[in-house]
Amino acid sequence: MNRQVFTIAIFPTEGLQALKSELFDVVFVEHDKLLSVLVLNIPFTKEENSIRLNLDLYVFHCQIRDKAKVKVHFHFALGQSFGITHPHVKWFIEQYLGDSATAHAHAPYREYLDILRHCDMMLNPFPFGNTNGIIDMVTLGLVGVCKTGEEVHEHIDEGLFKRLGLPEWLIAQSVEEYINCAVRLAENHK
């Protein structure tokens, strides 16, 4: 099988704290038009890095990677991941995702926005809620996938997607549907 190479990256929301003191995350996919590489970026808040790094997150990423007909590589660059913290975060990520993941140290906000500026799609993390990330997504002209749920913050994400007029299939009702939507969007990101 001839497979395109896709890269998935996770990046911080450092700097957004100065604009608004809410917690937010987002998953973005970047397409480098020169290299034909798709990059998925998931930023995490500075305050909640260790909480939001959880096994479920990696299991879902592994499933997306394994189901996609394109090769994926995850890049994590978390806010406040530097000094003594970064080697541990890097080790933790590699334990679950192996060589299909790269952990990047903390990046300044302007670099984060520059990365997002080149993105093609977004995967909304759950169950955290992602109002600010969705705003970043539409500001940059991106489309994405979210999962709705019983939690208010998950349901708000669904409401925002509907209000923005995004197709209903981008709003997953279950984890399985979320994974399938993510794969579908990654494979058909045009």
* pLDDT tens, residue by residue, 123-149: 777 777 778 778 878 887 888 889 998
Distance (Å, whole) CA 20 – CA 13 = 11
* Residue 18 or 189, more confident: 189
Sign of the alpha-carbon dihedral angle for 152, 11, 183, 35:
positive
> Taking all residues of the chain, what is their mean pLDDT, rounded to a whole number?
70
In a domain, 153, yes or no: yes
State the residue range of the domain holding 133.
8-187
Looking up residue 107, the CATH number of its domain turns out to be 3.40.50.2000
Better pLDDT: 35 or 1: 1
Instruction: State the Cα–Cα distance between residues 22 and 19, nearest whole angstrom.
Output: 9
pLDDT at 169: 96
User: Quick check: is 174 in a domain?
Assistant: yes
Predicted local distance difference test score (pLDDT) of residue 79: 63
Whether residue 1 is contained in a domain is answered as no
- 146 Cβ partners below 8 Å, 6+ apart? 124, 126, 130, 134, 154, 157, 158, 161, 170, 171, 172, 178
Q: Classify residue 2: in a domain, yes or no.
A: no
Task: Give CA–CA dist 178/174, Å, rounded.
Answer: 6
Average pLDDT over residues 12-19: 33
The reply to whether 3 falls in a domain is no
Q: How many CB atoms lie within 10 A of CB 69?
A: 11
Residue 164 lies in a domain: yes
Note the Cα 148 to chain centre separation in Å: 16
Q: How many residues does the chain have?
A: 190
| pLDDT for residue 58 is more than 50 | yes
26 lies in some domain: yes
Count of structural domains, the chain:
1
Nearest to 28 by CA among 76, 62, 67: 76
Residue 168 lies in a domain: yes
